[in-house]
């Protein structure tokens, strides 16, 4: 199972979803976002994001929205968000 899928399934299970429900939701969302191929294997993007830490992913998301470099962001573990320093 790709690392990005494993992590998302774990997050959904922590929110109370059953194992099968969490797997279905995660697979669908990751295919839609281009992280998984239709056969369920990871794309290049999915492999890259699977190797990233939660902080790196949050900073990357914020950076893409604003166009500012990732180094300008501070990560909050509590909210899983990155904000400008």
State pLDDT tens for residues 43-77: 999 999 999 999 999 999 999 999 999 999 999 99
Q: Rounded to 5 degrees, what angle do the CA atoms 17, 20, 26 make?
A: 75
Whether residue 8 sits in one domain with residue 31:
yes
The total of structural domains in the chain comes to: 2
Whether residue 6 sits in one domain with residue 46:
yes
CA distances from residue 41 to 31, 51, 60, 63, 75 in whole angstroms, order as listed: 9, 15, 22, 27, 29
Whether residue 5 sits in one domain with residue 38:
yes
Whether residue 58 sits in one domain with residue 28:
no
Distance of CA 27 to the CA centre of its chain: 12
Which residues form the domain of 68? 53-85
Instruction: Give the count of beta carbons closer than 10 Å to the beta carbon of residue 53.
Output: 9
Whether residue 39 sits in one domain with residue 6:
yes
Whether residue 67 sits in one domain with residue 33:
no
Q: pTM of the prediction?
A: 0.80
Contacts for 29 with CB less than 8 Å, ≥ 6 apart: 8
pLDDT digits (tens, 9 = 90+) for 38-51: 999 999 999 999 99
Whether residue 27 sits in one domain with residue 13:
yes
pLDDT band at 85; cut points 50, 70, 90? confident
pLDDT digits (tens, 9 = 90+) for 14-29: 999 999 999 999 999 9
């Amino acid at each position: 199972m790709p690392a990005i899928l494993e992590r998302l399934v774990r997050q959904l299970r922590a929110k109370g979803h059953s194992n099968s429900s969490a797997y279905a939701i995660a697979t669908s969302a990751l295919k839609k976002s281009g992280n998984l191929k239709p056969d369920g294997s990871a794309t290049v993007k999915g492999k890259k994001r699977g190797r990233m830490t939660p902080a790196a992913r949050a900073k990357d998301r914020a950076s893409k929205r604003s166009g500012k470099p990732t180094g300008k962001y501070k990560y909050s573990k509590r909210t899983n968000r990155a904000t400008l320093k």
